[in-house]
């Protein structure tokens, strides 16, 4: 079985930074995709960023505008999302997800999900 556990969220002021972490268990990187999604109250789930360990190719939401960095530590089965210059519109529950094969923007393609970590950005 696969288990994903996120951490690193919190409440910060606009302009601050957070580093979200996702610890994976029962999962080995091997031509798989791990990524981050977020969902704000009343809004649809949105893909944020993902990385394919087969090639290192990264996909990133257009609105990130250079503020987000996704990375992974394959040996430790860890996934990270660095968010700089946080904006109030970044406020959401952030989820780690994983799937076999290449990355996708569709959450429905991801078989495994964490419980989420809340990011709240105040003005």
Looking up tokens 């078989």, which residue turns up?
111
Helix (H, G, I), strand (E, B) or coil at 109: helix
Q: How confident is the model at residue 60 (pLDDT cuts 50, 70, 90)?
A: confident
Distance CA 23, CA 114 (A): 9
Report yes or no: 48 and 35 within 8 Å, Cβ to Cβ.
yes
Distance CA 114, CA 22 (A): 8
pLDDT at 29: 63
pLDDT digits (tens, 9 = 90+) for 68-121: 999 999 888 899 999 999 999 999 999 999 999 999 999 999 999 999 999 999
pLDDT at 56: 84
DSSP output for 29-67: -SSEEEEEEEE-TTS--EEEEEEETTT--EEE-GGGTT-
CB count, 10 Å around CB of 76?
A: 9
Helix (H, G, I), strand (E, B) or coil at 90: helix
pLDDT at 31: 86
Distance CA 37, CA 46 (A): 5
pLDDT at 106: 94
- Output the CA–CA distances (angstroms, integers) from residue 111 to 41, 55, 107, in the order listed: 23, 20, 8
pLDDT at 28: 67
């Amino acid at each position: 079985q696969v288990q994903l556990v996120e951490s690193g969220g919190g409440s910060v002021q606009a302009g601050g930074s957070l580093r979200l972490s996702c610890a994976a268990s029962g999962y080995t990187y091997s031509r798989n995709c791990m990524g981050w999604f977020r969902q704000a109250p009343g809004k649809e789930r949105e893909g944020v960023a993902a990385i394919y360990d087969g090639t290192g190719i990264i996909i990133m939401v257009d609105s990130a505008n250079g503020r987000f960095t996704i990375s992974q530590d394959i040996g430790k089965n860890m996934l990270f999302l660095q968010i700089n210059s946080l904006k109030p519109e970044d406020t959401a529950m952030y989820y780690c997800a994983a799937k076999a094969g290449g990355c996708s923007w569709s959450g429905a393609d991801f078989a495994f999900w964490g419980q989420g970590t809340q990011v709240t950005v105040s003005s």
